[in-house]
Amino acid sequence: MKKHLRLCLLVVAVAALGVSLAAGGALAAKKRLAFGGGPTGGTFNYFANGIAILMSKSIPDVEVSSEGTGGSAENLKRMNSGDIDFGIVYSVDLWLGNRGELPEDNKKYTKVKPMSYLYGAPAQLVVLKGSGVTDVRKLEGKKVAVGNAGSGAALSAQRFFESLGLWDKISPQFLGYSAAASALSDKKIDAFWVLVGYPNSSIIEASTSNDIALLDLNAAAKESGFYDKFPAYSPTKIPAGTYKGQDQDVQTFQDSTLWCARADLDAETVYQALKVTYSAEGLDHMVKAHKAASEMSVKTGLDGIPLPLHKGADRFWTEQGLKIPDNIRAKD
């Protein structure tokens, strides 16, 4: 009897060990991925957090963490090196980086592939109302916060001000959006630049303590040949009423914000990521994460894509019935 009892206990123990090992193996097999967002207060972070939460909840054995970063250019470089798996990158930065034409950086970042268009990111240049700065050219000699060093915002600001011949005549301040809003409110700077979807929380923050104004950027862009040199940028407007005290549309330009992945990330993971995000439930989740996600749809999924897609993205968009242009078809 005792021998039989010992045998039963041994069987139970072995079975329990097997379950434990199986559970441990499943845990060990969980794929942990990193998603590069952007500076505090920027739209990138809302999108990175939203997609990371959605993927972690909806894709078995996948856990995605979002990381704050310097923004577009940093995400491009970190995906290229394999430091992060996903990231948000501006179309212009992806294009120039692939060609080795980023400012003061001739390295070619070719190990990053686009997955989808997320939203248009308009340039927004904020000043204090009553400061006397009513035109972008009046910023000569002024302190202008342009975003974190190396960020997509800072790079776009440099391109824009260089096209006007003003980059060497302003004093660029490399501040993140929230820090720039505080500095403007404290009158430590004269203007700050953001390249994000609207409404932007940092601009809202600045408008709570001061009357602000947004400058027209489109007219100067046209006159300077900015659109001819950088055709990926396109004219757009910030609708009246977007911010406190803004009673007119403000003309500006925008870049396309793209969801990208490192090129060697497996195609199935990329496919599943798009599948859950572009489902009806996924899109509803993203709009709750940020209003700018209202631009996300299957119809706009390939807007602004300048380079060949990731293989997993090519499969997904083909299944959605989109005709993929030859120049952005996934390459072997």
Q: What pLDDT sits at residue 147?
A: 93
Q: What pLDDT sits at residue 121?
A: 87
Per-position b or e across 93-105, b if 16+ CB within 10 A of its CB: bbbbbbeeebeee
**Domain 31-118+256-328, CATH:** 3.40.190.10
C-alpha to C-alpha distances, 305 to 210, 243, 260, 327, nearest whole angstrom: 38, 30, 10, 10
Q: What pLDDT sits at residue 87?
A: 98
Residue 154: closest CA among 196, 205, 108? 196
Residue 89: closest CA among 28, 139, 37? 37
282 contacts 276 by C-beta, under 8 angstroms: yes
pTM as predicted: 0.72
Would you kindly state where each structural domain of the chain is located, as residue ranges? 31-118+256-328, 122-255
114 contacts 307 by C-beta, under 8 angstroms: yes
| Residues, the chain | 332
Q: What pLDDT sits at residue 13?
A: 42
Residue 259's DSSP bridge partners are 88, 116
Top CATH class, 122-255? alpha beta
Q: What pLDDT sits at residue 41?
A: 73
Strands 212-214 and 171-173, bridge-based pairing: unpaired
Q: What pLDDT sits at residue 35?
A: 98
Q: What pLDDT sits at residue 198?
A: 86
- For 136, counting Cβ atoms within 10 Å of its Cβ (0-12 exposed, 13-18 middle, 19+ buried), the class is buried
The tens-digit pLDDT sequence of the chain (332 residues) is: 444 444 443 433 434 444 443 444 444 467 999 999 998 777 899 999 999 999 999 999 999 999 999 889 999 999 999 999 999 999 998 999 999 988 789 999 999 999 999 999 899 999 999 999 999 999 999 999 999 987 888 989 999 999 999 999 999 999 999 999 999 999 999 999 999 888 899 999 999 989 999 999 999 999 999 998 887 788 999 999 999 999 999 999 999 999 999 999 999 999 999 999 999 999 999 999 998 899 999 999 999 898 999 999 999 999 999 999 999 999 86
